[in-house]
Chain A
Amino acid sequence: MSVTRRDFLIASTCVATAGAFPVVHSMEVDGKRYTMVHDEKACIGCTACMDACREVNAVPEGVSRLNIIRSEPNGTYPDVTYQFFRQSCQHCDVPPCVAVCPSGASFRDPDTGIVDVDPDKCVGCQYCIAACPYQVRYIDPVTQAADKCDFCRKTNLAQGKLPACVESCPTNALIFGDLNDPDSEVSQVIATSKTYRTKVELGTDPHLYRIAAPTGGNRS
């Protein structure tokens, strides 16, 4: 019987998940739990968020922390709609990328719940890239370290501002805040709206929530 690398990673993720789950939650009793909602009903697919992210976080050309994936057109002109899907780090409570990292470069900040990378510790083995079920990691061509969305932890957030994507969205389709605060907008939206998350069955507990667009998508 042969064990593929994928099987190995899945198995190791499950082991890590079982061990990490109670620890993670005990660590954030008093901390924040930053969470994002992408309202696909409000998103117009302008990709201003992608540009803002690149600029604020100095993301080199050729790689990106954030992509807005546009669906194929639904319908025929002029009655055409599209759906837009945000592809970026989900800031899992049980992040497989952290579990597989051999050098401790990938970590989950217990004070904020943000999953981040310490580029000085990263050895560029790319295990995290293989392990991430959301396929949002890449090797930064400048630093040669793994990188991905950090909710602007080291840039905008450190300056007391909202993440660049949230700031730049013209339709307020991105809502960001502390899920541990029941009065925060993000908590209110999640409590009162029908949201969904992707690949929850893997036990990753992602913290990027989505409000689904109507069937057939949006018209700008």
Chain B
Amino acid sequence: MNKRIYFSSIAFLATVLRIALAVLALSWVSSQAAAAGQTIDPENCIGCHEETPVLGVHSGTLFGATNRVATCADCHGWVTDLGQHETDGADMVRFDSAAAVLEPLTLTPLSLGVSTIATQNQTCLQCHSGKTLGALHWTHDAHGFELACSTCHQLHPKNDPVRGLSNASTIKLCVDCHSAQTRNGEGVRP
């Protein structure tokens, strides 16, 4: 008899557990649906942003955090307010090279809607490790604080002009930028 009560108690507890799990799962699904209601599907981005399709190395690449093909939102973030987004896009991570160069050197405020270097680079570093970048080219190391990746790299076009640059062109890139700094009296920051 003791044994039968024991087993029926176990069966009862198992049933309660199953019901609890089902309730939890349902509430998670509904919360996801609610969240989805506040955003737009990344597939829809291209409906408006048709001028900037991703054709380069990031096209069709796997995004490590989700283990599926990378979407606009993986790099640019999720739109939380479509109306506001259409006005200024301020809630997105925006990769703007010109402002990124100016920001740390002049310490002036960023122009509207441009993300800080740290924000931009953190996005890239989700997949690219600093150690690997340094091994690929030492200048990645040397500019980790001062420049956004987008200052030198273009990721949407089919070809990133920086990849495969000749040695002479690479040196010219250094010289052009650092000459301007020298002329402006900025020099090398210690």
B71 to chain A, nearest CB (A): 26
Q: How far is the CB of A208 from chain B (nearest CB, A)?
A: 20
Inter-chain contact B142/A219, CB cutoff 8 Å: yes
Cβ contact within 8 Å between B141 and A218: no
Q: Which single residue of chain B is at the shortest CB-CB distance from A46?
A: B174
Q: Give how many A-B residue pairs fall within 8 Å (CB-CB).
A: 79
Q: Which residue of A lies closest to B131 (CB)?
A: A77
Q: Is the CB of A70 within 8 A of B190?
A: no
Complex interface: stretch among A128-136, A155-163, A164-172, A178-186: A164-172
* CB-contacts of B130-151 with A (<8 A): 130-131, 133-134, 138-146
Nearest-neighbour CB distance to chain A for B79, whole angstroms, equals: 29
When distances are taken between beta carbons in the complex, the residues of chain A under 8 Å from B140 are 77
CB closest chain-B residue, reference A74? B141
Q: Is the CB of B190 within 8 A of A82?
A: no
Distance between Cα atoms of A214 and B189 in the complex (Å):
11
Most buried by B among A168, A214, A219: A219
Q: Which residues of B contact A81 (CB under 8 A)?
A: 142
B1 interfacial contact with A, CB 8 Å: no
B171–A220 CB distance below 8 A: no
Given contacts A51-B171, A79-B144, A219-B145, contact A73 B138 (CB under 8 A): yes
Residues of A within 8 A of B189 (CB): 219
**Residue A106, interface by CB 8 Å:** no
A187 at the B interface (CB under 8 A): no
Known contacts A51-B168, A171-B187; A77 and B130 CB within 8 A of each other: yes
CB atoms of A44 and B178 under 8 A apart: yes
B175 contacts the other chain (CB 8 A): yes
| B171, A82: Cβ atoms closer than 8 Å | no
Encode contact with B along A72-93: 1 for CB under 8 Å, 0 otherwise. 0100111111100000000000
Question: Which A residues lie within 8 Å of B129 (CB)?
Answer: 77
CA–CA, A51 to B167, complex, Å? 10
* Nearest CB of A to B140, in Å: 7
Band of interface residues on A: 20 to 34
Q: Is B5 an interface residue (CB 8 A)?
A: no
Q: How far is the CB of A160 from chain B (nearest CB, A)?
A: 22
Majority secondary structure of chain B interface residues (helix, strand, loop or mixed) = helix
Contact check, A218 vs B134: say whether CB atoms are below 8 A apart.
Answer: no
Least CB distance from B48 to A in Å reads: 34
A47 at the interface (CB under 8 A from B): yes
Say yes or no: B175 contacts A168, CB within 8 Å: yes
- Is A32 an interface residue, CB under 8 A from the partner? no
Is the pair A48, B141 in contact by a Cβ cutoff of 8 Å?
no
Closest to B182 in A: A171
Q: Which of A51, A77, A79, A220 contacts B188 (CB 8 A)?
A: A220
**How far is B179's CA from A81's CA once the two chains are assembled, in angstroms?**
20
Chain B hits for A172, CB < 8 A: 182
Task: Report chain A residues within 8 Å CB of B168.
Answer: 51
Instruction: Please tell me if B80 contacts chain A, counting CB pairs below 8 Å.
Output: no
Interface presence of B154 (CB below 8 A) = no
B130 to chain A, nearest CB (A): 3
Residue of A nearest to B140 (CB): A77
Query: Which of B141, B145, B187 is within 8 Å of A82, CB to CB?
Result: B141
The chain B residues found within 8 Å of chain A, CB to CB, are: 121, 129-131, 133-134, 138-146, 167-168, 171, 174-176, 178-179, 181-182, 187-190
Supply 12 further A-B pairs (C-beta < 8 A) apart from A46-B178, A78-B130, A78-B144: A41-B188, A44-B142, A44-B188, A48-B171, A48-B175, A51-B168, A78-B121, A171-B182, A219-B146, A220-B143, A220-B146, A220-B178
